[in-house]
Structure 1
């Protein structure tokens, strides 16, 4: 997935059924639909983790 704020994050698999039949959906960036299991989901970059 992309980590840049200006680019779209692109999933490779559906998080519910692992299908690759994904299409952009919705009006916001990062919203996707799986045409195999008919679920819609969103991706967003939360931040970087700092390890001590």
Structure 2
């Protein structure tokens, strides 16, 4: 995934509606036109696959 790829949210995290538009505030910023909230999303990284988890020795 390129650094400038935009991940599109499907639902507002506050009201659950789908009436979202990209915000002019910058990369990862979105506006919900149903509840009139603005929010941003940021991907932190990928989690390891569950089968690759190993417990540390005690």
Moved over 3 A (4+): none
**Partner of 2:42 in structure 1?**
44
> Normalising by structure 1, what TM-score?
0.82
TM-score if structure 2 supplies the norm length? 0.74
C-alpha displacement at 1:47, in angstroms?
A: 0.7
Higher relative contact order (CA 8 A, sep 6+): 1
Give the number of the structure whose alpha-carbon radius of gyration is greater.
Answer: 2
1: CA distance, partners of 2:25 / 2:12: 19
Structure 2: runs of 5 or more not aligned: 54-58
